[in-house]
Amino acid sequence: MTAIKYLSLTKGQRFLVNFGGFFKNLGRGFIGFFKRLPFKFIRLGHKLSRPFETLVDAWKKGTWMVRGNFLVFGLYQLFHNQIMRGLLYLIYEIVFIWFMITIGGPYLGKLGTLGTFSPTSMYVADAYEGLTVTLPGDRSFTILLYSIVTFILMIIFVALWYFSIRDARSLQNSYAVGKYEKNGQFFKDILDKNYHTLLLAVPLVGLVGFTVIPVIFMIITGFTNYSGTQFYLFDWVGFDNYQNLFSGVSSTANGSGLVTIFLKVLAWTLMWALIATFTNYFLGMVVALLINKKGIKLKKLWRTVLILTIAVPQFVSLLLISQMFSGSGFLTKVFENIGWIAHDTLPFDNALLSRIIIIIVNMWVGVPYTMLICSGLLMNIPEDLYESARIDGATPFKMFSSITLPYMLFITGPYLLSQFVGNINNFNIIYLLSQGKPSFGLSSLGYGDVGQTDLLITWIYKMSMEGQDKNYAVACVLGVLVFLIIAFFSLVLYGRSNSVKNEGDFQ
């Protein structure tokens, strides 16, 4: 469509064109992604083949000591003035082998069955008197966890094996041209050329131990029947958890399948994320505009009042507000007097009302943030834009919709995206306010007491952390689904905001 054609359309038609264009672009983006896929694989292939070339080269052209590195890590380095480097390689090799023999190997062997041996008490006839001995059984949890750790150590092992050989080969090369690296070079490099290893070592260990391993564990547990309560044994179940969630086999009290509940929670999660993000964004911007309006005094006071919400710990303010909606709460009484709720019921007994309350309270929590962010940015909008608009006779509303809003949307696109994703996982506000009430009445089925204001994230929490009917494996499946949803939105929206960026600066 040409620009002239587009301009000749009426407003409604333009909207339709833009609306259709969004999906057209979306589709184009997907097709483009798959078109590029083969090239990506080819490039990956090149990348992967390079290490093999290096290894072959080292074996062919290396001295016998370089070849020795294939078996003993850091051998060449140890004998060529690189004691520190050689030792580090060697120590890892020794520790790894020791680990594999004592811990890794035995646990890895049991991974296929997740252990078969439950703890048993045995009567041992002793020379003196009979003794009851309890033989410790296998713990599937431990087997799974240690297997993951072993796999990670194995990957590091292979990587270090490769690095030690490559390093030896390049050392040999520099020796051949008469460049002798001194021992101290290691320490010099670590402050300069290899500074990133020094900086990232500790953060990475923390990341792997407390995030990477738990996330891998979580993904894998989705394929077992671990409910979170079995101390000893559980089993692989393949895709059963996924199937149960989607096939709707287990039906609830009111006859609808689990999948309907899942879809309801998902729909509310997405609806909530959308509404929460945009209400906060627009209201925050409006408040910022009001405060920054020319001739308005006490700017600092207004801002300070709003910032109070950010300063006070969120659990305090949210728990307090939830108290206002409890049985003897102040707002419950008010609602009752207005007639919004019947006598002796709570606001959170009504699905629609609780959803509205949550969105409004979320504005109370979130508007100050947007206000702060927008305040600074609003002052950056060139004043002459407004000036010329005023001369052309634009109304304040027109100025807002044609200058302020496009500018702000352009600048804060990434922020909006992260807010949207953050709201999908907005645990605090739901959990501290309504705790998901009113309930679907699902508690007897062993999928947690999920309710109509529950987001996926709070449902996961209920299923994995509290209550009697824990179901950790299904919670993990939901966790993976949450990941997929967020990844989808990030990919689609981020790609779009990038393409916006490439179109040039805001005009």
Scan residues 387-426 and list those touching another protein (CB under 8 A). 411-415, 417-418, 421, 425
Q: Which of 16, 42, 94, 290 binds another protein (CB under 8 A)?
A: 290
One residue of 323, 345, 439, 443 binding another protein per CB under 8 A: 323
Per-residue burial over 141-157, b = 16 or more CB atoms within 10 Å of its CB, e = otherwise: bebbbbbbbbeebeeeb
For another protein, the binding residue among 12, 130, 178, 295 (CB under 8 A) is 295
**Among candidate residues 445, 455, 451, 453, the one with its CA nearest the CA of residue 478:** 455
Site for another protein in 101-160 (CB under 8 A): 141-142, 145
Would you tell me how many other CB atoms lie within 10 Å of the CB of residue 456? 21
Burial of 446 (0-12, 13-18, 19+ CB in 10 A): middle
Contact 381/323 with Cβ under 8 angstroms? no
- Residue 239 near another protein by CB under 8 A: no
Cis amide leading into 136 (omega within 30): no
Nearest to another protein of 49, 211 (CB atom): 211
Secondary structure string (H, E, C) spanning 36-99: HHHHHHHHHHHHHHHHHHHHHHHHHHCCHHHHHCCCCCCHHHHCCCCHHHHHHHHHHHHHHHHH
With CA atoms as reference, report the closest residue to 460 among 486, 445, 478, 440. Answer: 478
**474: contact with another protein by CB under 8 A:** no
Whichever of 78 and 477 has its CB closer to another protein, that residue is: 477
265 near another protein, judged by CB under 8 A: no
43-82 positions binding another protein, by CB under 8 A? none
Under DSSP, is residue 506 helix (H, G, I), strand (E, B) or coil?
Answer: coil
Q: Which is nearer to another protein, 26 or 491 (CB)?
A: 491
Which of 343-353 are b and which e, b meaning 16 or more Cβ less than 10 Å from the residue's Cβ?
A: eeebbbebbeb
**Whole-angstrom Cα distance, residue 217 to residue 204?**
18
Residues 53, 126, 129, 192: which binds another protein (CB under 8 A)? 192
| Of residues 444-473, those binding another protein (CB under 8 A) | 457, 460-461, 464-465, 472
Least spacing, CB of residue 371 vs another protein, in Å: 10
**Shortest distance (Å) from residue 123 CB to another protein:** 31
Identify the DSSP state of 116.
-
Build a one-symbol-per-residue string for 354-393: x at contacts with another protein by CB under 8 A, - elsewhere.
----------x---xx--xx-xxx----------------
CB 470 within 8 A of CB 228: yes
- Per CB under 8 A, 41 contacts another protein: no
Q: How far is the CB of 249 from another protein (least distance, A)?
A: 24
Q: Does 495 bind another protein (CB under 8 A)?
A: no
CB of 265 to another protein, least distance (A): 14
Out of 131, 133, 199, 249, point to the residue binding another protein (CB under 8 A).
199
Site stretch for another protein (CB under 8 A), options 122-130, 165-173, 287-295, 445-453: 287-295
